[in-house]
Structure 1
Amino acid sequence: MAFSDSLNNLDFDDSIQLEQEKSILTIWLNRPESRNAMSAKMVQAIQQVFSAIQDDDSVRAVILRGKGGHFCSGGDIKDMAQLRGEALVAGNNRPYADFNRTFGAMIEQVDVAPQTVVAVLEGAVLGGGFGLACVSDIAISLENAKFGLPETGLGVIPAQIAPFVVKRIGLTQARRLALLGMKFDGNTALQIGVVHEVAENEEQLELILNKTIEQIIHTAPHASRVTKALLHQSLTEPLDTLLDKAAEQFAEAVASSEGIEGTMAFIQKRKPDWVNYD
């Protein structure tokens, strides 16, 4: 399998697997024996991949999914046991805090990645897996997937994912889910805004995914990157400043090769050249 140049020299364990089909990169969470519980090594591997493709225009979309019929069941309990030993040696809780903050950094990195991120959700979508789903641009779920924030029932808190859950579904729904620690299916996830489409079975799930990829390929690569950044900035920047910046970006887009090609393709009633982008 051929990978983009940015991915060729990465070195990580088998906690994730990569597949690339032209401009679409799939990251498989690959710990099926633990329902793809997120270990420290998995977190580091995901960070490596997203760092490597940050400036790689040849990767237009990233598909996140899990091996073995599950997306991700949350953090790895075995890592917690190891951290307990480190905390005892250190005489403080810093090992716990450092591990948790690294996970938050990974979630934030996925959130702001310039590529379009698609989460394909099956089986367990719990805790950290739920947080990862909440930072995807497009989320597709099987209707029998099991979502939830079980942390409070385990005596801990959804520390790093809480802000991203609130951004995704709003404070009212996030309060209810986090404080009750309840589990729910894909249809409820659709109703409250965690996911965008729900499939009845695996075959339909793949059809929806393929349709989503086709739609991504029809969008201009650079315009998509700028648009995603603009949407994120709309939550943090003053409106006047944001609109001024957006006007400049719009002018650049219209005058760019993408803008010219898109306009000409529309006039000539043909597909723009990026549809066949490799």
Structure 2
Amino acid sequence: MTLPETQTLILEQQGAILHVRLNRPDARNAMSQLMVTELIELFTALAHSETIRGVVLRGEGGNFCSGGDIKDMSNLRLLANQEGSNAAYVAFNRGFGTLINLVNQAPQVVVAVLEGAVLGGGFGLACVSDVALCLDSAKFGLPETGLGVIPAQIAPFVVQRIGLTQARRLALLGNRFGGAEAYRIGLVHELFSSVDALNAAIDEVVGQIRRTAPKASRVTKSILHRVGHVPLDTLLDDVAVQFAEAVSGSEGLEGTMAFVQKRLPTWAE
């Protein structure tokens, strides 16, 4: 895969793993329109990539993402006043929904590294990660209602991640909370007290991604996304066929042979 040129992202490919850093540290990696556009372009390309198997998403400068860029909102307000229409607001907000759904549906294993500010849109990105690693000093929150706006595109993914009861409490009160609470409610999977421990965990997770069969991982993620969206009998029928294809396919044969021969399979780097 050829990596795109970006201004707000730092991209570094290490074999089958792509490290993506949100790179607006002076703004605590707030999401500008340009950053949203660049992330959409990147994850659109990743949807068709079979060489990238994992994406590690992190913020530059000690913050993950502090939400939407206030300066962009001011520019949108001027544009809306000039046009006499809210179309610019609608397009910007819906664009973020497109982005977060692309990340959610990405065939790769998406690892979110959460530290510093994890607010608004950053909170939404955390909710669509497959693996969420968190520094205990991170600060989470859905501050939208306190600003007179709403977590429009984020809300469905928050509910999917932590359930309706917790989502109602956090979204309606706009509470800020730390890594321990994020872990307690199931938003993050692992909690760390130091950056060194966090970095070590990233290396471990990346190693685990490399040991999983590429196609089997992609198919497994697609199955999980279908749960609750198709009738159960239909899903079970479909996955039985997929299981047979996996067992008789090249990955299944190589995985079985590697197990018998007590060696790593060929896809493990």
| Band the TM-score falls in, shorter-chain normalisation | over 0.9
TM-score calculated relative to the size of structure 1: 0.95
How much identity, in percent, do the aligned residues show?
A: 60
* Pick aligned residue for 1:185 from 171, 174, 178: 178
RMSD of equivalent CA atoms: 0.8
- Give 1:103's match in structure 2, choosing from 96, 106, 120: 96
Q: Distance in 2 between matches of 1:47 and 1:98?
A: 14
Letter in 1 for 2:12: E
Q: How does 1:150-229 map to 2 (within 5 A)?
A: 150-229=143-222
Could you give the per-residue CA deviations for residues 160-198 of structure 1, whole angstroms, max 9, x where no partner exists?
000000000000000000011001111110000110001
Residue 106 of structure 2: aligned partner: 113
Matches within 5 A, 1:84-99: 84-99=77-92
Between the aligned partners of 1:24 and 1:106, the Cα distance in structure 2 is 20
- Paired residue type of 1:143: D
The AA in structure 2 aligned to 1:227 is T
- Tell me which of 245, 248, 251 is aligned to 2:244: 251
CA distance in 2: counterparts of 1:133 and 1:250, whole angstroms: 30
Aligned to 2:45: 52
In the alignment, structure 1 residue 23 sits paired with structure 2 residue 23? no
CA distance in 1, matches of 2:154, 2:122: 9
| AA at the equivalent of 1:147 | F
Alignment equivalent of 1:230, drawn from 220, 223, 226: 223
Aligned residue in 2 for 1:266: 259
Q: Does 1:148 align with 2:141?
A: yes
Give the distance between the partners of 1:96 and 1:199, measured in 2 at CA: 38
Gaps of 5+ in 2: none
Task: Name the counterpart of 2:2.
Answer: 6
Inter-CA distance 11–209: structure 2 relative to 1 (3 Å threshold) = closer
TM-score (norm. length: structure 2): 0.98
C-alpha displacement of 1:55: 1.8
The amino acid of 2:86's aligned partner reads: N
The aligned runs of 1:125-144 (5 Å cut-off) are 125-144=118-137
Q: Distance in 2 between matches of 1:51 and 1:19?
A: 17
Deviations, residues 108-142 of structure 1 (Å, cap 9, x unaligned)? 00000000000000100000000000000000000
Unaligned 5+ residue runs, structure 1?
none
Q: Which of 62, 77, 87 is equivalent to 1:69?
A: 62
CA distance in 2, matches of 1:218, 1:191: 29
- Distance in 2 between residues matched to 1:105 and 1:6, nearest whole Å: 22
Aligned partner of residue 99 in structure 1, secondary structure: helix
Q: Secondary structure at the match of 2:134?
A: strand
Amino acid at match of 1:135: V
Q: Deviations over 1:241-268 (max 9, x none)?
A: 1111101110110111000000111111
What amino acid is aligned across from residue 6 of structure 1 in structure 2?
T
Aligned 8 A contact 1:127 1:148 in 2? yes
Counterpart-to-counterpart distance in 2, 1:62 and 1:235: 26
